[in-house]
Structure 1
Amino acid sequence: MTPAGATTPHGTPDEPHLTVRGEAHLDADPEIARIGITVTARGKDRRETLADLTRRNTRALDLVKSHGDSVEHVETGHLSISPELGRHGRGERVRTHHGHLHITATLGDFTALADLTTALADLDLTRVDGPTWDLRPDSPAHATARRQAVHDALRRAREYADALGTTLTALLELADTAADDPHPHPPQGARFAAAPFAGAAPTDDEPAPLDLQPRRLHLHAAVSARFTLAPPRL
């Protein structure tokens, strides 16, 4: 016998349980973009290679910082200075040194993103990867997707209850079963095109800003909800 006010894991004829899944699929425009910047240097002398890498890093950082508040975050990642040994001859002799340093920049201004990406790509021995489109952690889109998932679960539960000729009486459990991390839609062709933005024409010494088209993001949220039902008449 079940004590008054208690529930059993699987319900009883007098208090049946109903478990449903609610889902939400939401498309949202990105709010930020990240680019990866890798500067490299190469030379026979280790210290000269390091000095060259330092100069290139400073130049890249100065270029990033020149865009002011459009750049929301900058961080330095992996740094490496490694020797390359010669393939011939006796003994181990260093043929040259390779230096690599990685920088990540986050921007919320996509016009500045195009200008910065183009300028960085024009630097010698500098690689640019990205952009990666994303939402901010506190974006309202996340809450919207979660609410829609809960509403979907409640709608489904009511439909099942209505099919049985009864009603929901209580919510027993609500579980988040899928993260609503945004994922970009598959690209529709190339995203990088050398086309200038509206405004002043670039000089002969400056490349035209890349035409970067932000990619829509897809959010998926899912919940599992368990309810009690008023005993249906079957």
Structure 2
Amino acid sequence: MAEVVTKGVGKVERTADRAEVQVGFETAGSTRGEAVDALTARVAGVEAVLAGPGVEVRSRQLHVHDNWDGKRRSGSRAAQNYVVRVDDLTRLDELLAALVTAEPGWLGGPNWQLADDSEAVRAAQREAVADARRRAEGYAGALGARLGPLHRLADGDAETWAADSSRTMAAYGGGSPGVGPEMGRLNLEAQQITVVVRCTATWSLLD
């Protein structure tokens, strides 16, 4: 029995409902203890904001090391890096304002995400199969045949990404960033997430 094999692609867009932010703080001191104490004071206000509802710290890493000038130790530095997930986007502005006020060494994000992409994946799957069927019907018509039943369907990996998914909010080495004006210029509207599904279908051809 003659067969035709076609590939289908389905794409759907959904508005992001979750965001991820990366931020790092660094302080110096004559000793490691002084550097850590300064860091603790720097992030005290930030920790209070991160403990609020709708915000989850996904990663918290502390680094403490000595500075060396040749073979001579010249003070110490302490750094703490966070990966923060925001499930309540109404809190995103507040969170970023608090982080910028604390004068981090660097701040990146938000990276936009979908908390649950299962509905979007199913919708993209339907589009992918419909696309594969349309292609198969086109080939069947070109051959003067009719499209028969589906024999096999191979699933491709679903891909998810956001348009402009990563925006750099700040990157500086110290000094006041001017929270009010700076935050007012940032576009913090949730971005569109594109979910793509690909499939390969094998159909029979009927006379």
TM range (shorter): 0.7 to 0.9
The one-character-per-residue Cα deviations of 1:141-165 (angstroms, maximum 9, x if unpaired) are 2221122111111121122223323
Match of 1:133 among 112, 123, 141: 112
Aligned length: 197
Q: Greater helix share, 1 or 2? A: 2
Structure 2 residue identity aligned to 1:216: Q
Are 1:49 and 2:35 matched, yes or no? yes
Contact 1:185 1:217 in 2 (8 A): no
What is the TM-score normalised by the length of structure 1? Answer: 0.73
CA contact (8 A) 1:185 1:218 kept: no
- Aligned counterparts, 1:54-93, within 5 A: 54-66=40-52, 68=53, 70-71=54-55, 73-87=56-70, 92-93=71-72
- Secondary structure of the 1:174 match is strand
Q: Please identify runs of 4+ aligned residues in structure 1 that moved more than 4 A.
A: 208-211
Aligned match of 1:37? 23
* Residue of structure 2 in register with 1:173 after alignment: 152
Query: Which of the pair has the greater relative contact order for Cα pairs under 8 Å at 6+ separation?
Result: 2
Q: Determine if the alignment matches structure 1 residue 207 to structure 2 residue 180.
A: yes
Quote the Cα distance in structure 2 between the aligned partners of 1:108 and 1:40. Answer: 27
Contact in 2 for aligned 1:145/1:180 (Cα 8 Å): no
Q: Which runs of 5+ in 1 are unaligned?
A: 1-14, 193-204
- Map 1:1-234 to 2 at 5 A: 15-66=1-52, 68=53, 70-71=54-55, 73-87=56-70, 92-185=71-164, 207=180, 210=184, 211=186, 212-230=188-206, 232=207
**Letter of the aligned partner of 1:213 in structure 2?**
E
The 1:218–1:206 alpha-carbon spacing in structure 2 relative to 1, beyond 3 Å, is closer
d(CA) in 1 for partners of 2:6 and 2:179?
58
TM-score when scaled to structure 2?
Answer: 0.81
Larger radius of gyration: 1
Partner Cα distance (1:191, 1:99) in 2:
23
Contact 2:121 2:158 in 1 (8 A): no
More strand by share: 2
Q: How far apart are residue 126 of structure 1 and its match?
A: 4.9
Given that 1:135 and 1:182 are in contact with CA atoms closer than 8 Å, whether structure 2 keeps it comes out as: no
2:111/2:165 contact within 8 Å kept? no
Residue segments in structure 2 that go unaligned for 5+ positions in a row: 170-177
